[in-house]
Amino acid sequence: MWVPQSSLQPLAQRHPPSNLDKSFYVFNTLLQAKVPPTLPTLRALLSACIKVEQPQRGLSLATHLDEHGLIPDAVCFGLLVTVCGKARDLSLARQLVSKWQKGQGPRTKTEKEIRAPINGQILLQLLAQNRDLEAAFRVFDLVCKDTSHKPSLHLIGTLISGCIQSGQPKLAFAVADYIENHGIALNPVIYSLLASACFEAGGSEASGLGLRLLRLWEEGKKPR
């Protein structure tokens, strides 16, 4: 029995797991019939996977973007990031960072400002917890470039904590420089994390940063 692709989206938007099974059945039937998926269809399926707490099923959908030459819009990219974070899939996280760097994530200024902080927090946390600091710093740079707002203290704290837990506390010094250069006020959590990074790293560079942080904290001034 032929099932049109337009029927899949409303079916996927009904959230019981049984409807998700039916939606994937229709989706796979269409693929077997050589009918290429559309972004609305993929968005509907990704959203359904998230809402019924089955993000692992959404991971397979990411491959269809490349296979069919689809570039995700802001909503689709955000859904992929959410699926990736919930399923804790490091491979997809790295692929999404690469897509973001190539301009295949949110494209307009408004989309970037809205989506970058949310996407950045999910991806950076997953990457940092898995000690992929190179990719985590790439995400941090993307967030800084793709939004008119400064990165949240939560995002900054996640990156510093990742540096410490990965046994590379000196990498946190670059985050400290960013904080100082962009006039971001220290709060107790960030100050404590940077102090821990200094203690773990040791050496003259760490001592210099520690004294600078202490002076800023005692004076109650924002870094220049």
Q: Is residue 40 part of a domain?
A: no
At 3 the pLDDT is 45
Instruction: Tell me the pLDDT band of 137, cut-offs 50, 70 and 90.
Output: very high
Q: How many CB atoms lie within 10 A of CB 43?
A: 20
Domain co-membership, 77 together with 137: yes
Boundary-marking domain end, from 149, 183, 202: 149
- Is this prediction's pTM over 0.75? yes
At 128 the pLDDT is 93
Instruction: Tell me the pLDDT band of 13, cut-offs 50, 70 and 90.
Output: low
Domain co-membership, 201 together with 174: yes
| 155-175 pLDDT, tens digit each | 999 999 999 999 999 999 899
152 DSSP 8-state letter: P
Q: How many CB atoms lie within 10 A of CB 62?
A: 22
Count of the separate structural domains present in the chain:
2
Domain co-membership, 118 together with 134: yes
Q: Is residue 83 part of a domain?
A: yes
**Are the C-beta atoms of residues 160 and 190 closer than 8 Å to each other?**
yes
| 49-98 pLDDT, tens digit each | 999 999 999 998 999 988 998 888 888 999 999 999 999 999 999 999 99
**Residue showing tokens 């859904």:** 79
Q: Is residue 33 part of a domain?
A: no
**Are the C-beta atoms of residues 83 and 111 closer than 8 Å to each other?**
no
Q: Is residue 38 part of a domain?
A: no
51 Cβ partners below 8 Å, 6+ apart?
A: 15
Domain co-membership, 182 together with 142: no
149 DSSP 8-state letter: S
Least confident of 6-10, 110-114, 180-184: 6-10
Domain co-membership, 168 together with 213: yes
Domain co-membership, 139 together with 179: no
Domain co-membership, 94 together with 159: no
Domain co-membership, 172 together with 111: no
At 172 the pLDDT is 92
Q: Is residue 174 part of a domain?
A: yes
Domain co-membership, 84 together with 140: yes
Domain co-membership, 72 together with 145: yes
Euclidean distance between the first and final Cα of the chain, in Å?
Answer: 68
In the chain, count H helices and then E strands.
13, 0
Task: Name the token pair of 82.
Answer: 């959410």
CA atoms within 13 A on the CB side of 108: 6
**Residue showing tokens 């940092």:** 128
Between residues 75 and 8, which one has the greater pLDDT?
75
Q: Is residue 46 part of a domain?
A: no
The CA-based dihedral angle spanning residues 213, 215, 220, 222, taken in that order and rounded to the nearest 10 degrees: -50
Q: What are phi and psi of 166, to 5 degrees?
A: -85, 0
| Per-residue pLDDT at 220 exceeds 90 | no
Q: Is residue 56 part of a domain?
A: no
| Per-residue pLDDT at 117 exceeds 50 | yes
* Residue whose C-alpha is closest to residue 42's, from 57, 99, 33, 126: 57
What domain range includes position 145? 68-149
| 14-39 pLDDT, tens digit each | 555 578 888 898 889 889 989 889 99
Domain co-membership, 90 together with 115: yes
Domain co-membership, 81 together with 142: yes
Q: Is residue 204 part of a domain?
A: yes
Boundary-marking domain end, from 116, 149, 182: 149
At 167 the pLDDT is 93
**Are the C-beta atoms of residues 143 and 176 closer than 8 Å to each other?**
no
Boundary-marking domain end, from 133, 149, 165: 149
